[in-house]
Amino acid sequence: MDNLDYGIIGNCRSAALISKTGSLDWCCLPEFDSSSVFARLLDEEIGGSFGIQVDDAYEISQCYKKDTALLITRYSKGSDVFEVRDFMPRYQKRDGSYHTPPEVIRYIRHVKGTPEFSVKYDPRLEYAQGETQTYVKHPFIVSLTYGDKFDTIFLYTSFNKNAVVEGRPITLEEDGYFLIGYNEKLFKPTVKKMYVEMERTKVYWLNWSNRTPDYRKYNGVIKRSAITLKLLSYEKSGAILAAATTSLPETLGEVRNWDYRFCWIRDASMAVKVISDLGHKEVAQRYLRFIVDLIPDKDEKLQIMYGINKEKQLTEKILDHLSGYKGSGPVRIGNAAFEQRQNDIYGILMDMI
């Protein structure tokens, strides 16, 4: 995992980190007190992961589909080539609402030849604090934990489920998919349905990015930055996350590794002003609703930060069973900075308004 770039994918509900090796390293869902599923970034020994593994002869490259949040990882070995296209579904429905299920889809696109890969599917629910048991059922693979909190996660796939769980080699001759989510599906996914989900999501992002103006200089960087800010917005409440991760250190080996999965009023206002100036007013409108809902009573001051569902108590906890990113502990959930004071939040907020 050394010296690899990571890409954030999401649909404004949650996010994941994916390395060029095809490993899905879910630092955590950006919702206070929600659980991490794949936290290998925070502990390579006990943190869960969901990886696509190939032999060393494969060349691996990674990029975003232009003007979208679809992340493409390409594996090439001579005449054997395939791609993993990672995305979270998002598109507008007939009634005007948006289809945004809490799911990650990994669409496996066969390009040519007979490439071979194996899967390391090892979810560790609830920040790997207890035992996670994984079972192969007829329609899906289910993982669950009976720790302090009961939790489950479902994996649907077009590939042999026993081969997936056991990490046995899979020869790719046609397109396939993985769908991981918190909910059991009423209708079984198919490769065709997953392809349609991918194309609809791609069109959504192309339409969204098309509203960002073109610039003579740094156009690609500006558009990618706009998409990233969009991914850090939480549509349900209007909050803007500072980051989609927790406990990634500022400097390796030191302790300045905070949980940034919250909405800082000052920083979010700056981000909203920028994305609004780029033509995406709906993000600003949702954020203003978030602010209005937070307006405290007369005897209560505005906090510098809140949870993305307007939580006020963000008590910091240390997960000492996790070693931290490359050994840089402690791993934190929550952020004690919610009790601090930043007097400049008012001017920056008013400037944004």
What's the pLDDT band for 14 if we cut at 50, 70, 90? very low
Contact 125, 134 (CB under 8 A): no
d(CA 311, CA 295): 13
**Residue labelled with tokens 């040519």:** 112
Half-sphere exposure of 89 (CA within 13 A, CB side): 21
Span(s) in the chain for CATH 2.70.98:
1-210
Segment 305-322 mean pLDDT: 94
d(CA 55, CA 22): 13
| Tokens encoding 110 | 């066969």
d(CA 112, CA 78): 10
| Tokens encoding 249 | 């250190």
The size of the chain, in residues, is: 353
Please determine, for residue 76, whether its predicted confidence score (pLDDT) is greater than 60. yes
Hey, what CATH topology would domain 1-210 get?
A: Beta-galactosidase; Chain A, domain 5 (2.70.98)
Within 76-166, residue ranges assigned H as helices are 125-128, 161-166
Contact 168, 120 (CB under 8 A): no
pTM over 0.85: yes
Q: What percent of the chain has pLDDT over 90?
A: 77
- For 87-128, the pLDDT digits (tens) are 999 999 999 999 999 999 999 999 999 999 999 999 999 999
- For 274-300, the pLDDT digits (tens) are 999 999 999 999 999 999 999 877 778
